[in-house]
Amino acid sequence: MTPADYEYLRKMLKEKSGLVLSTDKQYLVESRLLPLARKANLPGIGELVAKMKAGSQSITTDVVEAMTTNETFFFRDKVPFDHFKDTILPSLLQARAARKSLRIWCAACSTGQEPYSLAMILKEMGTTVAGWRIEIVATDLSQEVLEKSKAGIFSQFEVQRGLPIQLLVKNFKQVGELWQLNPDIRSMVQFKQLNLLQDFSHLGAFDLIFCRNVLIYFDQDTKVAIFNRLAKLNEADGFLVLGAAETVVGLTDVYKPMPDKRGVYRPNPNRTAAAPPLAPAMGAGAAKAAAR
């Protein structure tokens, strides 16, 4: 890969997905894009770039997906799911007792393990949530991973990382060497394609937003803009859950960390003053402008 090809890819990825690649990530690009080049019967990344420059939308989409798709697993990091079960849900079930409905958003859900983990926890709660209307909306940039998510089919390797064996037996059916989630769990999650850089206000308000391990790939201005827009969709008494390596601290005051609950944030009551107006359709440039 020539320095010019790498520079083209860096700029294109930043513009289309917000992904920020430092100047030393050539190895990452090569490891993700060489298989894609082979799949497209192209000798190398140079030819892949040439196709994109010539206007091939399908190759461009494939490149963005290959670079932004991240491996995940059930109950990843465990602690956020303990917070969900022990702190967030009890609080929301009490606060919403009158209307008996909850809306949860898993932003950047990748292959679906996160929203399905939440669905399995809710199913385990049985009568506590009986009669409640609980919506789990799961979004990702990549159409390819969303298709995989919807099917709910996972390899033996995937179902062994983080998923307790009792939950595997209860909620999955063995299909040859693969494992498929039962329809009752699959039907609890709605999957939608979404680019976090673009307007997402049409999704409506959420009591809880899981937005984990995606903002780390964005630059600071884009992170701030996304936090501000998340806060506008988050109910005032709702929750935001971030990944272990992510925080709002030092970036924005639209959220406040929840004491003793690492990774859990609450909307700041004064957030309306801090949040900028919503842009109708945000690309990276618009997101930057909104953050200023």
Partner 1 sequence: MKTCLVVDDSSVIRKVARRILEGLDFQISEAEDGEKALAACRQALPDAVLLDWNMPIMDGYEFLRNLRRMPGGDLPKVVFCTTENDVAHIARALHAGANEYIMKPFDKEIVTAKFQEVGLI
Considering only 2, 156, 201, 272, the residue that binds partner 1 (CB under 8 A) is: 156
Spatial separation of the C-alpha atoms in residues 225 and 287, rounded to whole Å: 6
Spatial separation of the C-alpha atoms in residues 5 and 8, rounded to whole Å: 5
Stretch that binds partner 1, among 29-37, 106-114, 154-162, 236-244 (CB under 8 A): 154-162
User: Which among 88, 199, 200, 87 is positioned nearest to 138, based on CA atoms?
Assistant: 200
* 169 contributes a contact to partner 1 by CB under 8 A: yes
Spatial separation of the C-alpha atoms in residues 60 and 279, rounded to whole Å: 25
* 157 contributes a contact to partner 1 by CB under 8 A: yes
* 168 contributes a contact to partner 1 by CB under 8 A: yes
Q: Residue 194 has what DSSP assignment?
A: -
Q: How far is the CB of 121 from partner 1 (least distance, A)?
A: 15
> What is the contact mask toward partner 1 in residues 254 to 283, using x (rule: CB under 8 A)?
------------------------------
Considering only 101, 174, 193, 270, the residue that binds partner 1 (CB under 8 A) is: 174
Considering only 165, 175, 273, 281, the residue that binds partner 1 (CB under 8 A) is: 165
Assigned token pair, 64? 């963005």
Smaller CB separation from partner 1, 9 or 185: 185
* 78 contributes a contact to partner 1 by CB under 8 A: yes
Smaller CB separation from partner 1, 21 or 168: 168
Q: If phi over 0 gives left and psi between -120 and 50 gives alpha, with beta otherwise, what is residue 213? A: left
Beta bridge partners of residue 210, listed in sequence order = 106, 241
Smaller CB separation from partner 1, 161 or 256: 161
Q: How far is the CB of 183 from partner 1 (least distance, A)?
A: 17
Considering only 21, 26, 36, 162, the residue that binds partner 1 (CB under 8 A) is: 162
* Contact assessment for residue 12 and residue 52, using Cβ atoms and an 8 Å cutoff: yes
Stretch that binds partner 1, among 10-18, 88-96, 167-175, 268-276 (CB under 8 A): 167-175
* Residues ≥6 apart with Cβ < 8 Å to 6: 26, 29
Assigned token pair, 18? 């917000």
Helix, coil or strand: residue 8? helix
* 182 contributes a contact to partner 1 by CB under 8 A: no
Write a three-state SS string for 68-106.
HCCCCCCCCCCHHHHHHHHHHHHHHHHHCCCCCEEEEEE
Q: How far is the CB of 65 from partner 1 (least distance, A)?
A: 24
Binding site for partner 1 (CB under 8 A): 73, 78, 156-157, 160-162, 164-166, 168-169, 174, 177
